[in-house]
Amino acid sequence: MVTGASTADAAIILVDARHGIIEQTKRHSYIASLLKLPHVFVAVNKMDLVDFSEEVFNNIKASYQQIAEKLKLKKVYYLPISARDGDNVVTRSLKTPWYTGETLLHLLENIPVRDNEETRPARFPVQYVIRPQNDRFHDYRAYAGRIASGSFRVGEEVVVLPSGSESTIKAIDEADKTLDRAFAPLSVAIRLTDEVDVSRGDMIVKKGELPQVNASISLLVCWLNHRPLRIGAKYIIRHTSDEVFGIIKDVYFKVNINTLEHETEDKKVMMNDIAHIEIKTSKPLKYDLYEQNRTTGSLVIIDEATFETVGAGMIVNRLEE
């Protein structure tokens, strides 16, 4: 769910009307809150198996509202549905006259999406340096990648991180044409007026719109592997186009999914656990907090021996902040 929901604007939490709120319901809801999803749909399914009981639906709604308040979910919708027969999924059901809301499809088609990525601070992680080195393009040098957020325009002053070198955008190339302006999520090649040292993993940003640059990173991590997280162990950290080594320095707390409380004493993070951890990377990362930028504020943790993805992290403020 973590990887799938990381680019979503809404989550559908499916609840079995016969069983009500279970551990998986709480885990998925917590992940939705971590990912700052602006819309959560609680679809109470299999209403046909409880005779479309309004009382059953209201009891589940009341139980979930306590979770939503604790997790500070922004906008929650409650729907009684029967996926098998399509009740309140695409068309209104005659079996739930007590439900006056819209169908699931109508709500999904009409919810407002998040702010356009174009309006966020400009971030361009460099994936590749283009140097043709032939007679036709003897002096050509461009930096290829995908614009993570914001926009860039020819003539704008930019900064290359982590070096801090400054330059001006000379040209923006896209396939066989040049652009005056490019915006997220276009894949382009940016040419600069100065010969600055740029390599894969560096980030080009607008002057005055700098991200954080640090080797000590605080994360909320969802652990995805059957082998537990190991404090002091070295992992591969993949962040935008950058890849570095990182050491798990500490586990601040683990989330108790049943109570949604933070457990500071239990530092054993197992598969499907959610924890607040601190990592130290071999070189500084260029990042924003996850709530400010989903692309530059997220990373994955990879086992250096098996190359399995073992964790998905969202960058947050340190506890003392």
pLDDT digits (tens, 9 = 90+) for 161-198: 999 999 999 999 998 899 999 999 999 999 999 989 99
Please provide residue 11's backbone torsions phi and psi, each rounded to the nearest 5 degrees.
Answer: -130, 140
pLDDT digits (tens, 9 = 90+) for 10-55: 999 999 999 999 999 999 999 898 888 999 999 999 999 999 999 9
CB-side neighbour CA atoms (13 Å) of 281: 22
Rounded (10°) angle between helices 54-71 and 23-34? 40
- Is the whole-model pTM more than 0.85? no
SS3 156: coil
pLDDT digits (tens, 9 = 90+) for 278-306: 999 999 999 999 989 999 999 999 999 99
- Could you give the CA distance from residue 212 to residue 190 in angstroms, rounded to a whole number? 22
Q: Can you read off the two tokens belonging to residue 265?
A: 């004493």
Long-range contacts of 228-234 (CB under 8 A, 24+ apart): 228/268, 228/269, 228/270, 228/271, 229/269, 229/273, 229/275, 229/277, 229/310, 229/311, 231/267, 234/304
Domains and CATH numbers, the chain: 2-110 (3.40.50.300), 118-206 (2.40.30.10), 212-315 (2.40.30.10)
pLDDT digits (tens, 9 = 90+) for 64-102: 999 999 999 989 999 999 999 999 999 999 999 999 999
pLDDT at 145: 97
**pLDDT at 320 > cutoff 60:** no
